[in-house]
């Protein structure tokens, strides 16, 4: 692949312990994204291109937690407590190479709004600032990997398209929750239809 490093960024989505085997919201084979992401991140770093990692970063008692006993809104999914600020589960996977990372974006820290996307929270209005950051760097193309294919990667990819970025999904560097059953296939199809280039 011919990457224009002057106009590209790598996004490493939520490669955190809680989304990896043994974690609170473990994605099957979630830790398999680490190796390909490290390799790609080192390549971006060597080319002086930005590598951005996101962290799901919830306060205790976050509105997305099942433990709150709230009835989910139509289409909303509640989760086991995960990625609580400052806990081991919220840390990056121990083998994720943090040296090439040039920016860490934390999201989901507002108690009453969840945030799947790296760009906008689930109210679809509150920005994380990442869109402006990339614009400021003159980034036109993003390469995306991480967890989970059908949630945070999916919403990040769709928002990146909406922001006018060219989006490549690194198929070997993503893994999904697949809840409800079939949601990974559905997400891949929707991304493809939106113009995400799956490579």
Q: Can residue 53 be called a binding residue for ligand VGL (CB under 6 A)?
A: no
Q: Give the footprint of Zn ion on this chain (CB under 5 A).
A: 56
Task: Confirm whether 186 is a catalytic residue.
Answer: no
Residues 6+ apart with CB under 8 A from 97: 38, 41, 42
107 strand-pairing partners: 56
State whether residue 66 is helix, strand or coil: helix
Our finding on whether 191 is near ligand VGL (CB under 6 A) is: no
Residue 81 lies near ligand VGL (rule: CB under 6 A): no
What's the Rg (C-alpha) of the chain?
A: 16
Q: How many residues would you count in the chain?
A: 199
Residue 20 near ligand VGL by CB under 6 A: no
Q: Among the options 14, 18, 56, 159, which is catalytic?
A: 14
**Member of 9, 10, 12, 14 binding ligand VGL (CB under 6 A):** 14
**Has 114 been annotated as catalytic?**
no
Q: Decide if 107 is catalytic.
A: yes
Residue that the structure tokens 């994605």 belong to: 27
Select 19 or 143, whichever has its Cβ closest to ligand VGL. 19
Among 44, 57, 65, 79, interactor with ligand VGL by CB under 6 A? 79
In whole angstroms, what is the distance from residue 70 CA to residue 9 CA? 38
Contact yes or no for 95/42 (Cβ under 8 A): no
Active site residues: 14, 107, 152
């Amino acid at each position: 692949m011919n990457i224009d490093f002057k106009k590209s960024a790598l996004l490493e989505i939520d490669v955190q312990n809680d989304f990896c085997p043994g974690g609170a919201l473990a994605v099957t084979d979630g830790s398999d994204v680490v190796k390909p992401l490290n390799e790609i991140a080192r390549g971006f770093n060597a080319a002086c291109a930005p590598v951005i990692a996101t962290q799901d970063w919830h306060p205790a008692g976050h509105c997305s937690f099942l433990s709150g006993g709230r009835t989910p809104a139509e289409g909303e999914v509640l989760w086991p407590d995960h990625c609580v600020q400052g806990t081991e589960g919220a840390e990056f996977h121990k083998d994720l190479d943090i040296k090439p990372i040039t920016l860490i974006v934390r999201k989901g820290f507002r108690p009453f709004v969840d945030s799947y996307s790296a760009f906008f929270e689930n109210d679809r209005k509150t920005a994380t600032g990442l869109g402006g950051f990339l614009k400021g760097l003159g980034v036109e193309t993003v390469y995306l990997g991480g967890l989970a294919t059908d949630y945070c990667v999916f919403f990040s990819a769709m928002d990146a398209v909406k922001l006018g970025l060219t989006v490549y999904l690194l198929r070997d560097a993503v893994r999904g929750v697949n809840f409800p059953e079939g949601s990974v296939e559905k997400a891949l199809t929707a991304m493809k239809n939106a113009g995400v280039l799956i490579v």
